Every structure is written in structure tokens, then in C-alpha cells.
A = this chain, B = another copy of it.
Amino acid sequence: MLDAALLAGTHDRECVFEAFTRRLPTGRRYGILAGTGRLLDLVQRFRFEEPELEWLRSNHVVRDATLDWLADYRFSGTISGYREGEVFFPGSPFLVVDAPFAEGVILETLILSVFNYDSAVASAAARMVTAAVGRPLAEMGSRRANEGAAVAAARAAFIAGFSATSNLEAGRTWGVPTMGTAAHAFTLLHDSEEDAFRAQVDALGPGTTLLVDTFDVEHAIDLAVKVAGPQLGAVRLDSGDLPNLVRTVRAQLDGLGATNTRITVTNDLDEFTIAALQASPVDSYGVGTSVVTGSGFPASGMVYKLVAHRSHNGDGEWIPVAKKSEGKASIAGRKHPVRRLNPSGTAIAEAIHIVENGAAPDDNGRSLLVPLMTDGEAHPEFLGAAGTIAARSHREAAMRELPDQAFRLGRGDPVLPTIYV
């Protein structure tokens, strides 16, 4: 596309691209947007260096003039969008890119890769946070996702309300609080379970979390309290029939005087099994596979579409464009989305105004687009650890606007209607 547009001289037509999803995953009532902070950083650093150019050259992928263009590539456009952590619905134009065609089209895969995955994780994680009714959740799924995706997943889960991650790189890069855990291998390495517990308590103190299901849970709990004392921080259960087991373990700990020792559970949990433990004396959850794979929906179905370009015939008018493909038609023209609220502050509709020349619509609702990048420079408040924490706060505020039925775990329709006005 780039090669052909450069040859045709259409590459520098001023364009508006929008990213949105046509539908939520089946039965989901809302989505949580994540990825913005990562994307802005990636766009600012997006370059074609000599190794890439050389490969394109020697494989005759594009013409020499296109290689020259790529060598100079630096995104110079302007991006606005929903704040990271915002709630979204079908059609929500969560990212709007204003750029010459070539500069904007070449970012399509990067933009969609980041938002499709990060938002899939955040949207699933938010449901788990609801199911946990205030108990803390730790993201422990790095090993179930691609090694790079794992870092993004830890960040997205934190934005959605998880308390911590076992991924240290997410701590280093994005400021996500981190925690560790011991695996069964640590117990098996030692000559006895007692030796293993002692080694862990010696290094990490009695406040550590001991894994108690390697052999026999009842025996291990006696041992754990014997080694660490009743000030033992927590025990972790990674197997078994959790609702019953947790009750028994709580009674045993209390009987041993370890009344402040917490119980953390980690056995293939998802939002439904977490909900099933609401009445059990669990203190915290560790979630792996289900959160990093979006709990059944590992991609958010987001697309990136050209919606308008500026006429090059002298008048400079914006020309709205859309495809008409069966079942996949898009809506032409620049959008301005507004979340309408009722007088008590509860969201009632996603109102999407189609505007010309970027004029703000006349609507009392909460305007959803904010400037994210201007002339190729990202607004710094969205980047790094600060941007990640801001996204987590915004997610909390945006979710508070939603009507109660948004938080039911059962299948339902999107909780707000999307209205084009």
C-alpha cells in the first residue's frame, strides 16, 4: 500500500483514521481500554533502521524511493483518544489519528496489536476484580503468554484493578507493584518440606507466603506454623476443592493461633471461580491463564479504519469515506464521542456525533476524546509509571459511572446503547 501510494502521489493526503471495535466479546457488558501508554511510547520510537531497510532492499519488498521514505520515517501526526482505563462499547472511537495517509496507515498493525491484546486482558481482569468483592488479586500468568505479552498483561491487569504482579519487568518498566511466590520445585529441591519452609522463612522472614499443597495440606500447615510461628504471613493453596479446603485450612490456622495468617488461592481461577469463593474465608487470589488470555477472548476485535481525507482539489473540504462490505460496513466521517449521564451521574448512552472539521458537538455528556499526541510528541502524563497509575484511577472513576447491571458476570448485552447522532 505504501509503495503504491508513494508512486501514485496519494501518500500525503491528510487523513483521519479511527480505531474501534464492532462488538464486545459475546455476553460482555462493557470493555476496559488499555494500551495507550504503551502505544504512545512505541509510536514515538517507531523507526526503520538499517537492518530492516537492508532486508526490505535485498528482498525487493518495496522500491528504492519507498526505502528512502521509510529511512526518514518519524510519526509527525496528532492523536486523540479515550483516556487509558476508560470504559468502551461497540463503535466507541477510542483512538483518532490525524496524519498524512502513509504516516497513519503504517501504524495500523502496531496500534491494533497493542490495544487488541491489552484491552482483552484489562476487560477480563475488571470482571475478576468485581468478582473478588474487594479482596486483592495478583496477576501470575506470565508463563501462559508470550514473553513480551506477559509484561503488557501485567500492566493491563493492574490498570483494571489487580493489586500486584509476579512479573518483575512490569514492576521495573511500568511501576506495577510486584510480589513473588514459591513453586513446588522449591519444596521438592530440599530434603524435607520442613527444610524448604525453613529456608524460605530464613530468607524472607515469617511474613512470607508458604505453599502448603506439595504433599499433604494438613501436615504442611502444622509445619508452616511450627517453622514461621503464628505470625506466618500467608499460606498458598494451588489445588483441590477450594471452597471446602479453604474453610478447613482457616479453622486449622485459627486453632494453631495463626489467626492473622492469610489464605491465598491460585488454582486456575477465572471470574466465575473467584465469584464461587465469595463466601469462603479467602484473603487474596492469584490469577494466571485466564487473565492473560482475556478469559476466553484473547483479542478485542478492534479495527482501524480510514474515515475521512481532505480534498486535494483546492477547496480543502473533508471527504467522509466508508466501506460497504457486507456485514462489515464502517461509518464515514470524523466522530466525537460523548458519554451521556443521567442527573445522578449514571451513564445512559454512548453518543457518537459525526462532526465536520473537528467541531465539538453540542452535548451535555462527558466528552471522551483527549489529546494524546500532538505533532508526533506524546503528552507525557500518559507515559510510564505515572501514566499507568493515572489509567488505573481513571478506570475506577469511569466504572463508577456505570449502572449496576454492568457488573453482573452472566452473559448480557452491552450495558449502554451506542447512538450515532
By a beta-carbon cutoff of 8 Å, the part of chain A in contact with chain B is: 1, 3-8, 10, 13, 15, 17, 42, 51-52, 55-56, 59, 61, 63, 101, 105, 108-110, 112-114, 116-118, 142-150, 152, 168-169, 171-172, 178, 180, 182-190, 195, 198-200, 202-204, 213-216, 238-241, 289, 292-294, 298-299, 301, 304-306, 309, 321-328, 330
Chain B: minimal CB distance from A229 (Å): 17
**Contact across chains for B189 and A323 when beta carbons are under 8 A apart:** no
Nearest-CB residue, chain B, relative to A322: B188
Cα distance A281–B62 in the bound complex, in angstroms:
31
Cα distance A326–B213 in the bound complex, in angstroms:
8
For residue A148, which residues in chain B have a CB less than 8 angstroms away from its CB? Answer: 146-149
**Contact across chains for B61 and A178 when beta carbons are under 8 A apart:** yes
With A116-B144, A150-B109 given, is the CB distance from A10 to B199 under 8 Å? yes
Choice from B8, B109, B183, B298 contacting A202 with Cβ under 8 Å? B8
**Contact across chains for B143 and A116 when beta carbons are under 8 A apart:** yes
Known contacts A146-B149, A148-B148, A213-B323; 5 further A-B pairs (Cβ under 8 A): A10-B189, A109-B147, A188-B306, A213-B325, A298-B298
Choice from B4, B109, B150, B171 contacting A203 with Cβ under 8 Å? B4
**Contact across chains for A147 and B1 when beta carbons are under 8 A apart:** no
**Contact across chains for A299 and B293 when beta carbons are under 8 A apart:** yes
Chain B: minimal CB distance from A115 (Å): 9
Choice from B108, B183, B309 contacting A189 with Cβ under 8 Å? B309
**Contact across chains for A149 and B117 when beta carbons are under 8 A apart:** yes
Cα distance A301–B187 in the bound complex, in angstroms:
22
For residue A8, which residues in chain B have a CB less than 8 angstroms away from its CB? Answer: 190, 195, 198-199, 202-203
For residue A147, which residues in chain B have a CB less than 8 angstroms away from its CB? Answer: 42, 109-110, 113-114, 148
Cα distance A92–B328 in the bound complex, in angstroms:
43
For residue A182, which residues in chain B have a CB less than 8 angstroms away from its CB? Answer: 1, 4
In the assembly, how many copies of this chain are there? 2
Cα distance A215–B330 in the bound complex, in angstroms:
11
List 13 interface pairs A-B (beta carbons < 8 Å), by A numbering: A4-B182, A4-B202, A8-B199, A51-B172, A52-B169, A109-B147, A145-B146, A188-B306, A188-B309, A188-B321, A215-B323, A215-B324, A239-B326
Nearest-CB residue, chain B, relative to A204: B4
Nearest-CB residue, chain B, relative to A239: B325
Q: Which 6 A-B pairs have the closest CB atoms?
A: A148-B148, A8-B199, A146-B149, A112-B143, A4-B203, A239-B325
Q: Point out which of A118, A146, A216 has the most chain B C-beta atoms below 10 A from its C-beta.
A: A146
For residue A56, which residues in chain B have a CB less than 8 angstroms away from its CB? Answer: 168
For residue A61, which residues in chain B have a CB less than 8 angstroms away from its CB? Answer: 168, 178, 180
Chain B: minimal CB distance from A360 (Å): 25
Choice from B108, B113, B145, B203 contacting A7 with Cβ under 8 Å? B203
Nearest-CB residue, chain B, relative to A214: B323
Cα distance A195–B5 in the bound complex, in angstroms:
11
Q: Point out which of A183, A323, A327 has the most chain B C-beta atoms below 10 A from its C-beta.
A: A323
Chain B: minimal CB distance from A60 (Å): 11
**Contact across chains for A216 and B113 when beta carbons are under 8 A apart:** no
Choice from B101, B289, B301 contacting A299 with Cβ under 8 Å? B289
With A200-B4, A293-B299, A298-B293 given, is the CB distance from A189 to B327 under 8 Å? no
**Contact across chains for A117 and B146 when beta carbons are under 8 A apart:** yes
**Contact across chains for A323 and B204 when beta carbons are under 8 A apart:** no
**Contact across chains for A55 and B172 when beta carbons are under 8 A apart:** yes
